Chains A and B, each alone.
Chain A
Amino acid sequence: SQKIEQNSEALNIQEGKTATLTCNYTNYSPAYLQWYRQDPGRGPVFLLLIRENEKEKRKERLKVTFDTTLKQSLFHITASQPADSATYLCALGQKAAGNKLTFGGGTRVLVKP
């Protein structure tokens, strides 16, 4: 069966360090993968997209890698700040029509000052 797995345990990290989150998938052939941030009581906010033929994408302090052989994406927050505390969701999009996304369960990040 198709599955997208993110670490369900919260990631506690010290301010200034790099937070690394993992998204693993099975039985998918995604055309692209996206990362979202979600704060309590709010809808997810789109952060980054990486396509199947791309290895790495960066946006400010964020970096995403995509390894279709390992079926894994890593999401890095460098120089983390308390304001980065949130839940981060990965989502896979396939080549079928409709731009449908399938989401992982999310990983909560807590950055301590």
Chain B
Amino acid sequence: DAGITQSPRHKVTETGTPVTLRCHQTENHRYMYWYRQDPGHGLRLIHYSYGVKDTDKGEVSDGYSVSRSKTEDFLLTLESATSSQTSVYFCAISDEGRGYGYTFGSGTRLTVV
């Protein structure tokens, strides 16, 4: 998607290993979000950021941490991956001036074995 990229697109990792997913934006938007999407649960907010070094928890934040040291980058870290964290992870950005609509990245499919 234009202006927002996620990496990697796919990853397989072993239980207990740390994993970091990256979201990079070129839109200079203030707000950035991490969601996970699972069948039967829809999109659920993990963490979000409202500025550099300003982050807060979402509804499913346990086992995840985030960092935002620059406007353009928002990192999601699974400290010790578990099988329950197998999911598709989406990053999103929003600019209040656009009426709050989100722009989503293409997603990262993470499999924890």
CB nearest neighbor in B for A51: B99
Name the residue in B41, B48, B59, B102 with the highest tally of chain A Cβ atoms < 10 Å from its Cβ: B102
Bound Cα distance A98, B58 (Å): 11
Q: Which residues of A contact B102 (CB under 8 A)?
A: 34, 36, 44, 46, 101
The yes or no answer to A61 lying at the interface (CB within 8 A) is no
Contact B58 A100 (CB under 8 A): yes
**Given A98-B31, A99-B94, A104-B42: A42 and B101 interface contact (C-beta under 8 Å):** no
- A-B contact list, 27 entries, CB within 8 Å: A34-B102, A41-B107, A42-B106, A42-B107, A43-B1, A43-B90, A43-B106, A44-B43, A44-B90, A45-B104, A49-B100, A89-B42, A91-B43, A93-B100, A97-B50, A98-B48, A98-B50, A99-B31, A99-B96, A100-B33, A101-B45, A103-B42, A103-B43, A103-B44, A105-B40, A105-B42, A106-B42
Bound Cα distance A91, B101 (Å): 10
Q: Which residues of B contact A43 (CB under 8 A)?
A: 1, 90, 92, 104-107
The yes or no answer to B86 lying at the interface (CB within 8 A) is no
> Interface of B with A (CB < 8 Å)?
1, 31, 33, 35, 40-45, 48, 50, 56, 58-59, 90, 92, 94, 96, 99-107
Bitwise interface map of A from 20 to 57 toward B, beta carbon under 8 Å scored 1, else 0: 00000000000010101000011111100100000000
Bitwise interface map of A from 71 to 112 toward B, beta carbon under 8 Å scored 1, else 0: 000000000000000000101010001111111111000000
CB nearest neighbor in A for B40: A105
CB nearest neighbor in A for B50: A98
Across the A-B interface, the 8 shortest Cβ-Cβ residue pairs: A43-B104, A46-B101, A105-B42, A103-B43, A103-B42, A49-B99, A44-B104, A99-B94
